[in-house]
Amino acid sequence: MSFIETPGGVSLHYQEQGSGRPLVFVHGWAMSARVWRFQQPLGDDSRLVFLDQRGHGQSSPAKGYAVQDFAADLTAFCEQMSLDGAVLICWSMGVQVALQAFSSLRSRLAGLVLVGGTPRFTAADDYPHGKPPVEVKGLEVRLRRDYQKTMGEFFKGMFAEGEMDAAQYQRIVHEIVMGGRSPDPDAARQSLQILSAADLREQLTSIDRPVLLIHGDLDTICPAAASVYMAKRLPMATLALMEGCGHAPFMTRPQQFNELVLSFLAGL
Q: Active-site residues: which are they?
A: 92, 219, 247
| Dist. CA 199–CA 195, nearest whole Å | 9
β-pair type (46-51, 21-26): parallel
Q: What is the largest CA-CA distance in the chain?
A: 48
Angle subtended by helix axes 147-156 and 133-145, to nearest 10? 130
Short-list 26, 4, 22, 23, CA closest to 13? 4
Distance separating alpha carbons of residues 56 and 28, to the nearest angstrom: 10
Tell me how far apart the alpha carbons of residues 85 and 71 are, in angstroms, rounded to a whole number: 18
- Residues 135, 177 contacting (CB under 8 angstroms): no
Q: CB of 76 within 8 A of CB of 58?
A: no
